[in-house]
């Protein structure tokens, strides 16, 4: 949660940084344009002074000759002009001062008619000459702009530094103010993180009586209730663990008893199987309907059969045909069929049809699972 808070603070700083970048750019371009406009306005003012003087003597545009050239040259010198070119309404060059007529043609054909040329470092401007409310010609004037360009470059650098200082100051101020603004929230978030981490008796340390103070008080109340609930949960958890441990011990005891019983049963089964297979007398296990299920070696040897020949065979098949079939019949006891208990002597037929006298003793085995 603290990391998310820092990301929010960083995001806010970035957003305000964009604002200060835009503000710094606006300030830079505004002042640059103002400085350039101020410099060009000075040149325009000087050019208008020259054009006003010429408009007071417009006869040269009709006579195609300027008689007061010395005054014009003095006016050029006073206004620090580099050259003057005059042409009539038809485009004919009437006069050129401080420049020959061949070069004056390039000045009046230049595309820079109202700005500073960085090539020759001159400010070129053209103005119409108005006489009797009509245009009689045009004036082309050029001013040396070297110092102006140097001053503008210096002002541009200072303006850029000023804009950069505003940007950096804005970023620092934004980060500082956001830190102050988020400090109370940071305390609340830190307290909540500590509570989530398992710490006890956590409290938001904020005493101001404002909205955040009200929120901090409510959070402190919630944290206090959480501590009480956590204590009760720990008590219940301890009691529950005790009960679970006791139940686990009981289940473990029952499992051990069952395991011991299974071991005893397996041992008894093993002992019975060992006794059954190695008994010196013939032993046979039959189903309730008197089908042979298992025989031992002595039984097979006595009758001369193989074990696979006897499995599934009815017991009365081992009796003579004249022997009563009631020897192995079933009893009717309480409506249930069960094998008859036998304890008698009778004759059985071997595989080679010889008869032998045997003593038979039987008992009933009950399967608990069935």
Q: Tens digits of per-residue pLDDT, 173-202? A: 777 776 666 566 666 666 666 665 666 666
Q: For residue 207, is pLDDT > 80?
A: no
Q: 235 lies in a domain?
A: no
Given this model, what pLDDT does residue 4 score?
63
Tokens of 221: 């109340």
Domain boundary, last residue among 123, 143, 170: 170
Those residues with Cβ within 8 angstroms of residue 289's Cβ, 6 or more apart along the chain or in another chain? none
pLDDT digits (tens, 9 = 90+) for 321-333: 776 555 555 444 4
Helix (H, G, I), strand (E, B) or coil at 294: strand
In DSSP notation, 347-369 reads EEE-TTS-EEEEEEE------TT
pTM: 0.42
Which sign does the torsion angle of CA 230, 232, 238, 242 carry? Answer: negative
Q: 195 lies in a domain?
A: no
Q: 204 lies in a domain?
A: no
Q: 53 lies in a domain?
A: yes
pLDDT digits (tens, 9 = 90+) for 68-126: 677 777 878 888 888 888 888 887 887 777 765 445 445 544 444 456 665 667 888 88
**∠ CA 346-348-351 to the nearest 5 degrees?**
170
DSSP code of residue 315: G
Domain boundary, last residue among 170, 198, 217: 170
- Pairing assessment for the beta strands 336-339 and 292-295 based on DSSP bridges: unpaired
- For the chain, how many structural domains are there in total? 2
Q: 296 lies in a domain?
A: yes
Q: 111 lies in a domain?
A: yes
Q: What is the mean pLDDT of the chain?
A: 76
Domain that holds residue 335: 280-361
CATH number at residue 288: 3.30.450.20
Given this model, what pLDDT does residue 117 score?
64
34, 157: one domain? yes
- Other Cβ atoms less than 10 A from the Cβ of 351: the count is 13
Place of tokens 């003597």: 57
Q: 66 lies in a domain?
A: yes
Q: 214 lies in a domain?
A: no
Given this model, what pLDDT does residue 300 score?
92
Q: Of the ranges 80-94, 127-141, 284-298, which one carries the lowest mean pLDDT score?
A: 80-94
Given this model, what pLDDT does residue 140 score?
87
Domain boundary, last residue among 150, 170, 190: 170
The H-assigned helical ranges of 56-90 are 60-63, 69-78
CA distance 167 to 95: 53
Q: For residue 270, is pLDDT > 70?
A: yes
């Amino acid at each position: 949660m603290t990391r998310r808070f820092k990301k929010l603070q960083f995001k806010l700083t970035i957003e305000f940084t964009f604002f200060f970048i835009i503000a710094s750019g606006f300030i830079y371009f505004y002042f640059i344009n103002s400085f350039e406009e101020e410099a060009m306005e000075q040149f325009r003012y000087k050019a208008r002074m020259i054009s006003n003087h010429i408009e007071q003597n417009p006869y040269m545009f009709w006579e195609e000759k300027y008689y007061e050239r010395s005054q014009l040259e003095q006016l050029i010198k006073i206004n620090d002009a580099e050259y003057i070119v005059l042409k009539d309404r038809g485009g004919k060059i009437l006069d050129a001062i401080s420049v020959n007529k061949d070069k004056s043609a390039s000045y009046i054909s230049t595309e820079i008619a109202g700005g500073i040329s960085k090539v020759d470092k001159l400010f070129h401007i053209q103005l119409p000459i108005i006489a009797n409310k009509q245009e009689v010609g045009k004036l082309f004037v050029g001013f040396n702009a070297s110092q102006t360009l140097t001053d503008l470059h210096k002002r541009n650098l200072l303006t850029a530094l000023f804009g950069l200082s505003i940007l950096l100051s804005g970023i620092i101020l934004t980060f500082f103010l956001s830190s102050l603004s988020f400090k109370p929230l940071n305390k609340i978030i830190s307290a909540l993180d500590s509570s989530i981490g398992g710490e006890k008796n956590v409290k938001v340390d904020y005493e101001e009586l404002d909205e955040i103070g009200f929120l901090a008080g409510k959070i402190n109340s919630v944290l206090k209730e959480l501590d009480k609930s956590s204590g009760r949960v720990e008590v219940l958890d301890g009691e529950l663990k005790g009960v679970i441990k006791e139940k686990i011990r009981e289940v473990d005891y029952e499992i051990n008893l069952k395991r011991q019983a299974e071991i005893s049963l397996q041992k008894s089964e093993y002992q019975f199987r060992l006794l059954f297979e190695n008994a010196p007398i013939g032993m046979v296990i039959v189903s309730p309907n008197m089908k042979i299920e298992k025989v031992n070696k002595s039984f097979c040897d006595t009758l001369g059969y193989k074990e696979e020949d006897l499995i599934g065979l009815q017991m009365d098949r081992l009796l003579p045909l004249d022997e009563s079939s009631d020897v192995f019949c079933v009893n009717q006891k309480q409506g249930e069929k069960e094998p008859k208990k036998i304890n008698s002597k009778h004759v059985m037929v071997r595989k080679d049809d010889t008869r032998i006298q045997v003593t038979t003793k039987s008992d009933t085995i009950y399967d608990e699972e069935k």
